[in-house]
Structure 1
Amino acid sequence: MRLIKSILFLMLFVCFSCNSVKKETAINQLSKFDVNTVLNQNVEKIKTVTQKLTFYDSFPRHIDENNKQWSYVKTKDWCSGFYPGILWYAYEESGDEVLKNKAIKFTETLKTIAYSPARNHDIGFQLYCSYGNGFRLTGNQNYKEILLAAADTLATLYNPKVGSILSWPSQIKRYKHNTIIDNMMNLELLFWAAKNGGDKSLYDIAKSHAEQTMKYLVREDGSAFHVGSFDIETGAFLQGYTHQGYANESMWARGQGWGIYGFAMAYRETGDSNFLNTAIKLSDKFLDRLPEDGIPFWDFDDPKIPNAPKDASAAAVAACGLMELSGLVQDEKLKSKYFNGGKALVENLSSSAYLSNAKNDALLLHSTGNHPKNKEMDVPIIYADYYYMEALLRLKKLENI
């Protein structure tokens, strides 16, 4: 009898142990990052949120602390193109016609920007993220014409004496002819237009702008100024500044991300190895200085670190740039370095520390917009979600999942 009890106990123990192992394995499998799972969850959330939005001239920008819903901006805001872009990305992943129709409605509200005098360099963010993705996914020829008009409008800000686009006409008194690192991202609209029926001079403008940015805004140590100031008449470089970073010589995280992505794109479009080397230099600096959790603080040189806010948007932008770069370098070790660097950023953003989940209507938490002005501090911001969705789609394609 005692022997039978012992056998029964042993059998129960083995069964319990097996079930525990299975349960632990299942939990580990659920918690393991899977790009398809994250994309599907994001698409469902985007679809749920967008069904509540019916004013197509109001665009999500950020979510205030202790709020669950987006605060909105109008068409002229520099962030207006990101939400339509997010909808296009969600449609690209899902093929959902509801998302497509919403993307069309939000996109087409922005048409006026292409045919209005240029207010700043952000035309690329506004229209290439919206109409650009729309044209890529639908082939709508009306979208193509609007993009060509937008490129011509952006080109009116080019100063041939300086060799770059004036980024902020409103800041001439402070910075003279100013060129900012963010502007690298808007060159893609010009490169695209030059290949798709636009004037060939658009290519020359974009390349010249990238060259001047590389020469004067990228520092020897691989970090970048936010703003370069130039004499309007002579084109002489005057000084490098920050506008949204900690200090003129500090390494503002999102600016570093713009540089990585922008110069990788410039190399892709021109084949100029100087742009490739610049993207590599900026990327190495960024990766070398990442903190332990793999997500940058808003500025790498804020003396309050580790008690300084993070910037998920910088991580998302850099992830896109690193994955772009991984497809451009020839050396296999570098390919792996930049791909893995981009993937790690995406995985870290997809953790419970940064995913919004049910907290609010955004995808990501913890972005920092303009720290010096105490604006959009440690909150969800729309461009973080945009580049996060892009990074996820890039990762899926690169892994051929």
Structure 2
Amino acid sequence: MNATLESAFAFAQAQVRALIAAYPADYYPMYTVHGKFGQDTKRWTHWCDGFYPGMMFLFAEATGESFWLDEAVKRSTPLEPRQYDRAVHDLGFLFFSTHLRWLELGGPEAHINALLDQAGKTMAMRFMEKGQYLRSFVEPASLFIDIMMNVGTIFQAGLRLSDEHLLAVAHRHCETTRRTIVRGDGSTSHEALFDLTSGECLRQSTHQGWRGDSCWARGLAWSLYGFTRTYQQTGRALYLQTAMANADYLLTQLPGGGVTTWDFDAPNQDIDSSGSAIAASGLLDLAAVCPDPVKGAAYRAWAIRSLELCCEQYLGDKTPGFEGILNGSIYHIHKNIGVHEACLFSEYFFVEALWKAIRPSAKPIPAVVTPYPEDSLPAQFKTWVDGPTEEDVASPVDGATK
């Protein structure tokens, strides 16, 4: 039992309860401004909307309280039209944090599986044959490391449906990402840019990091976590090796565990606690599947120590009136948005990592909760047969980056 992490998990529940009471049900927090939500206006693709109900699903699993499951479902069903959203590369962020967790807690199986299948098919439509990658939301020539956190939707659908085309698309994207973004030392770039005519990778680039050849910490964490999950889904050793290379590089940067900076190579070493939160969650998964017990123990020890340091230095209870859970995160340093604040991607993966670290081996059985048969779902979700109309699909995003 780790009292520091247990206390932080309880604090997280209190903070989310307070948000539920303070803001309407159709509000999806994204980042704080001076410690307060409700002013987070620049959202672009709404890629974080699943993380708020996602935390509620985690609390439902941990406590068995019907309150958490009911609140999570209330905020997850409005996201369902986005299973058809071709404007984004973030369907894993949206639906693995919500509907996949709902399914694991006994949600309506047929409905959720159909939604996850469609999300995977929609993600696969981003595939660029010349280049063999899933394009980012920015432009067709762009591959983001973030997509490693979302390619799992294609594997989810491909494996359930035994769809060889979907599986091939997902594997090719992972292989291209490994070749063009993950470097020989295990560090990562944020982006790779391709020639659309030949499919050749032209160069590494970045929107969030210091330079194209530097290592943006959150991107490294996306890679570590994403390749670990693709290994868990597929059993391919190459993906495990890539995740371990990412992890080994991380441990060389912070050998004793710690709170990540926004970019390991930047002269301005601003803290970005989101990198630690995401990496810790990924490392706890990696430790469980690592074939080397010594390395596995090191990965888990780093994750636990990093979480403890985040709690000691950046937990929201250190700042009076702070509405978030974890302070010290950075949304976009170059645009000065969500800098040294709470950011929902950080909140969610911090809570997820805490739960992985303190969860007993035998999960509690959720309490009896309100049933959610398909007949209780909004009518629009039941009437789509061949997909939504053009008006139902999210409009194209602007040129902003995330």
TM, length-normalised to structure 1: 0.84
Q: Secondary structure of 1:387's partner?
A: helix
1:254-277 Cα deviation digits (max 9, x unpaired): 001001111111222222222111
Q: Tell whether the 8 Å contact from 2:217 to 2:264 is kept in structure 1 after alignment.
A: yes
1:79 pairs, out of 48, 52, 61, with: 48
Q: Larger radius of gyration, structure 1 or 2?
A: 1
What corresponds to 1:391 in structure 2?
353
What corresponds to 2:18 in structure 1?
48
2:275 pairs, out of 296, 314, 337, with: 314
1:1-400 counterparts in 2 under 5 A? Answer: 33-56=3-26, 58-65=27-34, 67=36, 71=40, 76-116=45-85, 118-141=86-109, 142-168=111-137, 170-172=138-140, 177-197=141-161, 199-290=163-254, 294-305=258-269, 309-351=270-312, 353-357=313-317, 358-397=320-359
Q: How many residues align?
A: 360
Mean Cα displacement is larger for which, 262-271 or 329-338? Answer: 262-271
Q: Secondary structure of 1:228's partner?
A: strand
Shift of 1:66: 5.1
Counterpart code for 2:347: D
Shift of 1:84: 1.4
Counterpart code for 2:352: E
Shift of 1:197: 3.0
Q: Which runs of 5+ in 2 are unaligned?
A: 364-402
Counterpart code for 1:181: I
2: CA distance, partners of 1:227 / 1:210: 14
Shift of 1:38: 2.7
Counterpart code for 2:12: N
Q: Tell whether the 8 Å contact from 2:35 to 2:342 is kept in structure 1 after alignment.
A: no
Mean Cα displacement is larger for which, 341-350 or 65-74? Answer: 65-74
Q: Tell whether the 8 Å contact from 2:329 to 2:340 is kept in structure 1 after alignment.
A: yes
Shift of 1:366: 0.5
Instruction: Note closer, same or farther for the CA distance 1:80–1:68 as it changes in structure 2 (3 Å cut).
Output: closer
TM, length-normalised to structure 2: 0.84
2: CA distance, partners of 1:192 / 1:394: 21
Q: Tell whether the 8 Å contact from 1:46 to 1:90 is kept in structure 2 after alignment.
A: no
1:28-82 Cα deviation digits (max 9, x unpaired): x9xx7443333233223322321333232x2100110153666367795111111
2: CA distance, partners of 1:74 / 1:255: 19
Q: Secondary structure of 2:29's partner?
A: strand
Shift of 1:295: 0.2
1:115-172 Cα deviation digits (max 9, x unpaired): 34x002112212222222222222312122111111111111111222111112x334
Shift of 1:314: 0.8
Q: Tell whether the 8 Å contact from 1:171 to 1:178 is kept in structure 2 after alignment.
A: yes
2: CA distance, partners of 1:384 / 1:282: 19
Counterpart code for 1:136: E
2: CA distance, partners of 1:42 / 1:271: 34
Q: Tell whether the 8 Å contact from 1:207 to 1:266 is kept in structure 2 after alignment.
A: no
2: CA distance, partners of 1:37 / 1:187: 34
Q: Which runs of 5+ in 1 are unaligned?
A: 1-28
Q: Tell whether the 8 Å contact from 2:29 to 2:37 is kept in structure 1 after alignment.
A: no
CA-based RMSD: 2.2
1:177-200 Cα deviation digits (max 9, x unpaired): 211111101011111112223633
Counterpart code for 1:394: K
1: CA distance, partners of 2:260 / 2:295: 21
Q: Secondary structure of 2:359's partner?
A: helix
Counterpart code for 2:196: I
